[in-house]
Structure 1
Amino acid sequence: MKVATFNVNGIRGRMPRLLDWLRDAQPDIACLQEIKTGDATFPHEPLEAAGYHVIWHGQPRHHGVAILSRTAEPAEVRRGLPNDDADGQARYLEADVGPVRVACVYLPNGNPVPSNNFDYKLKWFERFNAHVNTLVGGEVVLCGDFNVVPTNEDIYNAGSWRFDAVLQPETRAAYQRLLAQGWIDSARFLNPKGRGELYTFWVNDHAFRRNAGFRMDFLLLSPSLRSRLRASGVDAEHRGREKPSDHAPVWAQLRD
């Protein structure tokens, strides 16, 4: 079973790139972030024509997440995190896909620092950590853009971005608290010394051409899935195509 995550940075404008990648990579399950369209305008027809069942949690012009499956139809469990009914941002979607629980995550960016945006990011992260702590005992994959660069080994030049929200000590500490629950960072687990080959985001084409990137898109596995992890990778070549997203797809292969 191949599970993948891809921040598409606007699904309506990136649909050709998304369909190219789905055809090339053939993921069984794909989680999308930053679809940037409302529920009523989500373009599900091309994805269904490509062979995927799809559910989505949209928001006009901002955020938004979706889960695609080539096999079992995703059975929605939750949209949005608990414990803040006033939070209207579409950043979380959770579904059962066959025997596996899949959570699609788009964590807030949080810039500038300090700001209300950064406060929201940290509060959202804590709500997320509290919720997924209740899931860690099952067969679960957390897929998404976490907007955190966990260590200086996960970025080409930490000094250049030291004031950005994705590198702040509070952001990194929240991510470490998440991992302490038992979640396994699939890419880092299989490639503990990896650096540039694990980058998933490049701020522009020039940065991509010189591989001045970050790693902040992750597939986190619950402990029960660790023995099934066979391979992982980043489809960085798709970042270099015409009119791409600024993120590259990330995938993990699990034994069925």
Structure 2
Amino acid sequence: MPWSLATFNVNGVRARLPLLLDWLKKASPEVACLQETKVVDEDFPADAFTELGYHAYFHGQKSFNGVAILTRQEAAEVVQGLEPGDGGQARVLAVRLATGWVVNLYVPQGREVGHEAWHYKLEFLDQVARMLPRRFNPKEPVIVTGDMNVAPTDLDVYDPKRMAGKVSCHPDERAALERIEAWGLTDLFRQHHPEAKQFTFWDYRLPQSFKRDLGWRIDLILATAPLAEACGECLVDTEPRGLPKPSDHTPVLAKFA
């Protein structure tokens, strides 16, 4: 049975709700992973997604961070947070479905190289790398997805020379992401589009960044071999970024046989 999975940093699920609901109606993914929901659990708009036929699982906090997973099928297991803990920041949510595990991440942005937030980012990525072999098996179907806040290579940023050594392009961040992938994960977009210069994030602070395509590819769908082999396509849907009152990110969608 064909199915699809999306990742989308919505930058506020309540602020983006009409746009998100319209997109879900059009794309109709079986699984949708959201980041930066920016809402406490008791205020998460679960009913709006239930009306579209989704089960909603969420892990949030007030005004910052927050992750959610919307699924057509009920999850057999739900896990919140990192092990042994994520410092009270709602950044990790995992669900076990009939199609396998889905791990949704909102990786810290890191502010600037050398800042304590940047060191926390590196530690967070290392915690993820340590968590994967403890909890999962790379020979089984597992997806690790979300806003990784790391551009994997120079191909994934609009101006590699300007961004060299800076946050989201720093060698230490890329190495940390590579350690996660080395456990047994494939970047599905790159699997299908090895040379494409395609972005998923355009900073609000850069004038007309979307129109000028000054972006980063930092929203990733990583999969173990069983799902990478079953993936027929992985694409970036830029349409929502061009709509009124958009998120600064846009959805990524993977399709499986």
Task: Give the TM-score normalised by structure 1.
Answer: 0.94
Aligned-partner Cα distance in 2 for 1:228–1:50: 26
Contact 1:58–1:65 (8 Å) recurs in 2? yes
SS at match of 2:202: coil
Corresponding residue number in structure 2 for 1:120: 120
Which among 124, 136, 139 is matched to residue 137 of structure 1?
Answer: 139
* Aligned counterparts of 2:77 and 2:8: Cα–Cα separation in 1: 19
Residue 219 of structure 1: how far off its partner (Å): 0.6
| Counterpart position of 1:187 | 189
- Partner of 1:165, secondary structure, is coil
Query: What's the counterpart of residue 104 of structure 2?
Result: 104
Letter in 2 for 1:24: K
Mapped to 1, the partners of 2:10 and 2:228 lie a distance apart of 27
Matches within 5 A, 1:24-173: 24-70=26-72, 72-84=73-85, 87-134=87-134, 135=136, 136-173=138-175
C-alpha deviation, 1:66, in angstroms: 0.4
TM-score, with structure 2 as normaliser = 0.94
- Shift in Å at residue 162 of structure 1? 3.1
Distance 2:183 2:96 in 1: 21
The alpha carbon displacement at 1:163 in A equals: 5.0
Residue by residue over 1:96-137, the C-alpha shift from the partner in whole angstroms, topping out at 9 and shown as x without a partner, is 122311111101111122111011101111001111234223
2:154 and 2:10 mapped to 1: Cα distance?
25
Offset of residue 78 of structure 1: 1.3
Asked if the contact 1:236/1:249 (under 8 Å) is kept, the reply is: yes
Q: Match for 2:129: what amino acid? A: N
Looking at structure 2, the residues matched to 161 and 5 of structure 1 have their Cα atoms a distance apart, in angstroms, of 25
Q: Which deviates the most, 136-145 or 118-127?
A: 136-145
Number of matched residues?
251
Match of 1:3 in 2: 5
RMSD: 1.3
For residues 4-55 of structure 1, the C-alpha deviation after alignment (integer angstroms, 9 at most, x for no partner) is 1000000010001100110111111000000000011111111111111111
8 Å contact 1:67–1:74 — kept in the other structure? no
Residues 68 and 74 of structure 1 are in contact (CA less than 8 Å); yes or no, is this contact kept in structure 2?
Answer: no
Secondary structure of the corresponding residue to residue 241 of structure 2: helix
Work out the percentage of aligned pairs sharing the same amino acid: 39
CA distance in 2, matches of 1:137, 1:120: 30
SS of 1:13's equivalent in the other structure is coil
Q: Which ranges of structure 2 fall in alignment gaps of 5 or more residues?
A: none
AA paired with 2:114?
P
Matched, 1:200 2:200: yes
| Partner residue in 2 for 1:211 | 213
Letter in 2 for 1:75: A
C-alpha separation between the residues in 1 aligned to 2:154 and 2:57?
35
Q: Which has the higher helix share?
A: 1
Q: Which amino acid aligns with 1:80?
A: G
- DSSP 3-state at the match of 1:253: strand
Segments of structure 1 that go 5 or more residues without pairing to the other structure are none
Structure 1 letter corresponding to 2:230? R
Q: Is residue 54–residue 74 contact of structure 1 (8 Å, CA) maintained in 2?
A: no
CA contact (8 A) 1:186 1:232 kept: yes
Contact 1:54/1:68 (<8 A) preserved: yes
Contact persistence 2:143–2:221 (CA under 8 A): yes
